[in-house]
Structure 1
Amino acid sequence: MKKLPIGIQSIKKILVKGEYAYVDKTEIIRELIDEGAPHYFMSRPRRFGKSLFLDTLREIFSGNKELFKGCQIYNSDYEWDKHPVVYLDFSKIANQTPSQLETALKVRLGIIAKEYGISIITTDVQVALDTLVVELSNKYGRKVVVLVDEYDKPIIDRLDNLDIAKKNKDLLKGFFGTLKGLDAQLRFTLTTGVSKFSQVSLFSGLNNLTDITMSPEYAGMLGYTEDELKTVFSDHIQEVVKQRGQQGNLVTEEAVIDEIRKWYNGYRFSEKALFIYNPYSTLHYLKTKKAEGYWYSTGTPSFLIEEIKKHPQAIVPLCGTSVLKSTLSDISKIDRIHLAALMFQTGYLTIRGHNPEENSYDLDFPNKEVKDAFFNSLLEEFTEVNPLEVTRVAKEVKKALEDKELESFIDKINAHFAKIPYQIFQHAKEGFYQAVFFTFLEKSGVKTEAETATNTGRIDLVCETSNSFFVFELKLNRTADIAFKQAEEKKYRERYSLSEKNILVLGINFSSKSRNIGDWKGILYSPSGDSVRTYSKNF
């Protein structure tokens, strides 16, 4: 059985002895090279195979044909011309200040030049890049290939200091702007990153740059498809089945695949309904034979939490929200980042549906790993509540809602609010209370949808159980009666009138004085629309 290529970013190490399992992406590479548009950009979440893909390109453009014996490109009509390659990995370039970034870039360009026997004498980083590409092309009589990994790291890493982030962005704008004057010397360029910041000159200067991030034909370029999982890792899946059997848990191969699918599949990057497995987590699962949060635990999304702290109401419509493609694929201002776009580009949300008429996409969490870990992070860093405490009473919260024991349900939610340190509530607005309420429901395993659109407005929150819908209208420092009347006057329950389920319309008013739910009022309607029961409570 072949080894799992965990943490390996060198295609030579994977292929040279044939010791490692390899998901062959070289046919996609050949198509990319042959397409005729030589300058590309693709964003994907971290640890999704970008570095290995770029290293594969480097070896192919270096003409190392025999390395790829047995791969799809080896038996194709690819000509294997050798080109000088400039490879820039921004994860290895210091970026704490703009001057440090500039110095580190110049050092890196100097190292590449030395490897090719070229001397660069300049203090200007843009001139250094220009000189390097021109001299390489002249010396070797071939056009140059430029491969850039994690170009946006100097911006993403510094989002906690917008002044540095903006200065780093401006430096990158000038640096990548140099490439637009080098088209005659360039054979191929591919730049990868986590996000797309459109104001970086990489996107505004190169008119012929092709963004393939959401292109259907390249949706499976990184990560694993289900067919690839079943084919390449069949032996490892059988090992999981065998181990479970030895432990007394008789499972089938399909049951193991179902588990991997639930935890690590679900990423969709285009209108094409092709779902991708997270390669990092999938490999670790096959190694440990345990379903855990591997990818998420490798890096706390501190920049997301900071954005949420600035705009807590933004998390309420996260799952189930619809966003235009232009919003998803572009971040134009680093001081006003669209949270849904940032979470999609960084892998915390993914596409669930596509509306071709609007060219919009429905978003949701990709899988159990991401959803569970994300809400754990929110509880720990946003509310400072131990997620284990919420998990321990999750079944009770969910059952109280299902049984329509609303007083018990509200009491349990208020018990969670009571654990939040009082200073977090300072200057908190309605969106904060909605966000916390939403987070507690999600973590309790209640099926929840936020900001649901109707023909008369937007419902704050909707929950669904086996026999009922719960329509919530939420207010701060008003009254439950006001919240309830709004939901009724806008006829929110009509959206679910054909469901043949009970509908409970509930108005909830939060109190900034008590820092929890102050009062609530609701009416339970039967599937036929008759009023069955009235609920109300003042504290």
Structure 2
Amino acid sequence: MGIIMKKLPIGIQNIREIIEENYIYVDKTRFAHQLISSGKHYFLARPRRFGKSLFLNTLEEIFKGSKELFQGCYIEQSNYDWKEYPVVYLDFSQFDNSSSEQLKKDLAEKLEETAQVHQLTIKAPSIQSKLRKLIEGLAKKERVVVLVDDYDKPIIDHLKNVEQAIENRDLLQRFFATLKSLDRYLKFIFTTGVSKFSQVSLFSAQNNLNDITMDPRYGAMMGYTVEELALNFEAHIDAIAKEENRKKEEIFAALKIWYNGYRFTKEKTPVYNPFSTLKYMDKKELEPYWYSTGTPSFLIHQVQKHPQSMVPLIGTTATKNELSNINDFDKIHLPALMFQTGYLTIDTYNPTTNRYHLTFPNKEVQEAFLNSLVKYFTTINPTVSSKCQQILETHQLTLFFNEIRSMLASFPYQLFVKATEATYQSVLLGILKGMELEVEAEQATNIGRSDLVIQMEKTTYILELKLNAPPEQALAQIHDRKYFERYTQKGKEIALIGVTFSSESRTISSWKGELLSTDGDRVQPLE
């Protein structure tokens, strides 16, 4: 009889449902125990869909004394006393923030609902006074736990409308100032968000809030470490490997390239994107699952407003303070916003300069984000797409690369400062997809991966890209590693193209190609 695999908890943010309904639970209660044992006021910023809500719900169940729920978990085997405390849970993602008045109304209703659960009445003219009455009333039994999820959503949702963002921020500022004044009634406060807007009173200089966003002790609190992936998902990996007739190590290697690489502290503790990892286990296809759930229109908007501050995507550096705070809505520091929202992550840390070097976390984000930039900076109309398809079918590559150069010229030069081959590869991939060509990146062979493969009706194009190296070198690599062999005997000619990008001109500087017959014999050079 085969092993019954636990279910994948895709989108489930309720710890009780996960454990009781036989879903996989990656035990993070060690971090919960550490937080409860060592402090009182905490803030953590992490990208969306990284497990913040599930962790808050875990804290809620712990503070409610639900020991039976955590059998076998770290905290159940610890010295935690499991005393029960009243919990106020505020999830700002559930509130209508289209206006500050509507936000105020929804927040007031939530406070009143919480009061009713505890048989309290909190009639009062403002949300501040309602909050005060609720906390004071609950504290007559035990000190109160306050858990706040997505505190910054009323701001982030309106980064394109600065006036509304400021109105919502000011409401949050007054609300959290009131919460701070009630500290003597509170046992524990944990607040999460995507970004840290320093002008919210939650982060005032007088506050004793502990921001653990970049604390190495909590670098793996959200997301999956490589050890957690192997421990909890081995059965699913085994099943995929068997179904696809591949080695388990190949599956792990692909997952690492696509979904690992997030690093939030100076310590090297990379984690996998939990949402994309779970979706892959379910769909068994390497796709940009996390990215596709919410493309970063607010980032593109910031680039549109301030193109002079376009982030060089490879080579960006910043201090911890620069990465941790956002205080100017009118001109947001793009590296900070991209780091906090998960589109850039820490690559290395220099203790001498106290600066962090940022990069894309993985293939999912790099390809998808650059595709978004391609759509913004280039207009690929149907006429151009049709033209490029025709000239590729007839092997007119000089005309084809002239079109590509024209499109690359529309990108701001800042984008390509310290760019790598991977940057140019992703931008070119985005352009080719924008032309509605059938194109794939990094098609694996037994001894390597070709950079780009374009499938036309009569021809398979294999492109190898080099930065500041002759195209002959790229062409030789295609031959040496036999990237073309898997495409022989398919009834199509095979075009091998070596392409050189120049870091000085930031475009394609040269190319060299040759055409093989359908069986792989060399036929002729391409002009």
Letter in 2 for 1:170: D
- In 2, the alpha carbon distance for the partners of 1:352 and 1:117 equals 51
- In 2, the alpha carbon distance for the partners of 1:503 and 1:46 equals 35
Task: Write the deviation string for residues 171-207 of structure 1: whole angstroms up to 9, x where unpaired.
Answer: 1000001122111111100000000000000110652
2:264 corresponds to:
269
Q: How much has 1:69 moved relative to structure 2? A: 0.9
DSSP 3-state at the match of 1:74: helix
Task: Write the deviation string for residues 306-365 of structure 1: whole angstroms up to 9, x where unpaired.
Answer: 011112243351222111111001111111210110000000000000011221100011
- In 2, the alpha carbon distance for the partners of 1:213 and 1:316 equals 22
Q: What fraction of aligned residue pairs are identical, expressed as a percent?
A: 49
DSSP 3-state at the match of 1:42: strand
**CA distance 1:183–1:206, shift in 2 (3 Å):** farther
User: Which one of the candidate residues 11, 15, 18 is aligned to 1:14?
Assistant: 18
Q: How much has 1:267 moved relative to structure 2? A: 0.1
Task: Confirm whether residue 58 of structure 1 aligns to residue 60 of structure 2.
Answer: yes
**CA distance 1:334–1:34, shift in 2 (3 Å):** same
- In 2, the alpha carbon distance for the partners of 1:26 and 1:314 equals 41
Letter in 1 for 2:35: L
- In 2, the alpha carbon distance for the partners of 1:239 and 1:264 equals 19
Q: How much has 1:444 moved relative to structure 2? A: 2.1
Is contact 1:180–1:206 with CA below 8 Å preserved after alignment? no
Letter in 1 for 2:79: D
- In 2, the alpha carbon distance for the partners of 1:417 and 1:223 equals 35
- In 2, the alpha carbon distance for the partners of 1:271 and 1:92 equals 33
1:287 corresponds to:
282
- In 1, the alpha carbon distance for the partners of 2:367 and 2:509 equals 31
Is contact 1:199–1:332 with CA below 8 Å preserved after alignment? yes
**CA distance 1:61–1:45, shift in 2 (3 Å):** same
Is contact 1:179–1:206 with CA below 8 Å preserved after alignment? no
User: Which one of the candidate residues 39, 44, 47 is aligned to 2:41?
Assistant: 39
Unaligned runs of 5+ residues in structure 2 are 431-464, 472-499, 511-527
User: Which one of the candidate residues 68, 71, 74 is aligned to 1:69?
Assistant: 71
User: Which one of the candidate residues 358, 366, 380 is aligned to 2:361?
Assistant: 366
User: Which one of the candidate residues 84, 87, 104 is aligned to 1:85?
Assistant: 87
- In 1, the alpha carbon distance for the partners of 2:160 and 2:247 equals 47
Is contact 2:467–2:503 with CA below 8 Å preserved after alignment? no
Is contact 1:46–1:194 with CA below 8 Å preserved after alignment? yes
Q: How much has 1:440 moved relative to structure 2? A: 6.4
1:460 corresponds to:
none
Task: Write the deviation string for residues 376-403 of structure 1: whole angstroms up to 9, x where unpaired.
Answer: 111223434489969x99xx9xxx9xxx
Q: How much has 1:443 moved relative to structure 2? A: 1.5
2:435 corresponds to:
none
DSSP 3-state at the match of 2:197: coil
Letter in 1 for 2:407: H
1:306 corresponds to:
301
Equivalent pairs counted in the alignment come to 434
- In 1, the alpha carbon distance for the partners of 2:64 and 2:14 equals 14
Is contact 1:305–1:382 with CA below 8 Å preserved after alignment? no
**CA distance 1:507–1:252, shift in 2 (3 Å):** closer
User: Which one of the candidate residues 309, 329, 334 is aligned to 2:329?
Assistant: 334
1:465 corresponds to:
466
Is contact 2:46–2:341 with CA below 8 Å preserved after alignment? yes
DSSP 3-state at the match of 2:358: strand
Q: How much has 1:415 moved relative to structure 2? A: 4.0
**CA distance 1:416–1:235, shift in 2 (3 Å):** same
DSSP 3-state at the match of 2:77: coil
> Residues 374-385 of structure 1: matches in 2 within 5 Å?
374-385=369-380
Letter in 1 for 2:92: F
Task: Confirm whether residue 416 of structure 1 aligns to residue 407 of structure 2.
Answer: yes
Is contact 1:90–1:153 with CA below 8 Å preserved after alignment? yes
1:511 corresponds to:
none
- In 1, the alpha carbon distance for the partners of 2:157 and 2:502 equals 45
1:348 corresponds to:
343
Q: How much has 1:467 moved relative to structure 2? A: 7.0
DSSP 3-state at the match of 1:27: helix
- In 2, the alpha carbon distance for the partners of 1:67 and 1:410 equals 61
- In 2, the alpha carbon distance for the partners of 1:102 and 1:383 equals 41
Is contact 2:378–2:407 with CA below 8 Å preserved after alignment? no
Letter in 1 for 2:238: Q
Task: Write the deviation string for residues 254-284 of structure 1: whole angstroms up to 9, x where unpaired.
Answer: 1100111111000000001010000000000
Is contact 1:60–1:80 with CA below 8 Å preserved after alignment? yes
Is contact 1:220–1:274 with CA below 8 Å preserved after alignment? yes
Q: How much has 1:70 moved relative to structure 2? A: 1.3
CA RMSD of aligned residues (A): 3.1
Task: Confirm whether residue 296 of structure 1 aligns to residue 291 of structure 2.
Answer: yes
Is contact 1:312–1:435 with CA below 8 Å preserved after alignment? no
Q: How much has 1:50 moved relative to structure 2? A: 0.4
- In 1, the alpha carbon distance for the partners of 2:385 and 2:414 equals 20
Is contact 1:380–1:386 with CA below 8 Å preserved after alignment? no
**CA distance 1:314–1:79, shift in 2 (3 Å):** same
Letter in 2 for 1:414: R
Unaligned runs of 5+ residues in structure 1 are 246-250, 421-430, 447-463, 471-501, 509-516, 523-539
DSSP 3-state at the match of 2:349: strand
Letter in 2 for 1:132: L
- In 2, the alpha carbon distance for the partners of 1:163 and 1:412 equals 41
**CA distance 1:521–1:99, shift in 2 (3 Å):** same
- In 2, the alpha carbon distance for the partners of 1:104 and 1:189 equals 21
Q: How much has 1:123 moved relative to structure 2? A: 1.8
DSSP 3-state at the match of 1:308: helix
Is contact 1:506–1:521 with CA below 8 Å preserved after alignment? no
Q: How much has 1:16 moved relative to structure 2? A: 2.2
- In 1, the alpha carbon distance for the partners of 2:69 and 2:206 equals 33
- In 2, the alpha carbon distance for the partners of 1:320 and 1:32 equals 34
- In 1, the alpha carbon distance for the partners of 2:358 and 2:303 equals 17
